[in-house]
A = this chain, B = another copy of it.
């Protein structure tokens, strides 16, 4: 993965406000939209979800999740070749008493300021999804899989 591809991946993850969250629901895959933010060191994807929502119950039952971030379609682009990153990971609830809560909340609100009022709703809580693998498709025929140190380095590039 060269610096240009790494920068394109980070640009996608930092600028796109929403992702598709896949969870396991009663043994079948389910998918829903979630606003998300990346932690400053790239170690986790922060989402803020309602206890009343199916995906939240799914994550509490089974933390294995996947997250897809897709680039918006610009005029003249082929929808077949949209850049996208698919993340496999483990979701853990991050309560206000948890270490890292304040950092996760700040990262989320810096990207999604509209969500401020939701933090006063009792049924909403933060989850942090720790990535285990990323499939990064930079365009048609330009796909790569990232795990371990290579993935961590891509998500936490030198400033």
Which residue of the partner chain, among B31, B33, B73, B79, contacts A82 with CB atoms under 8 Å? B33
A1 at the B interface (CB under 8 A): no
- With A72-B73, A112-B79, A114-B79 in contact, is A20–B28 under 8 Å at CB? no
Q: Chain A at the B interface: mostly helix, strand, loop or mixed?
A: strand
Inter-chain CA distance A72–B31, complex, in Å, is: 17
Complex interface residues of chain A between 83 and 134 (CB less than 8 A to chain B): 84, 86, 88, 112, 114-115, 118
* Size category of the binding interface on chain A: 35 or more
Residues of chain A at the chain B interface (Cβ within 8 Å): 17-18, 20-24, 27-33, 35, 64-68, 70, 72-73, 78-80, 82, 84, 86, 88, 112, 114-115, 118, 135, 137
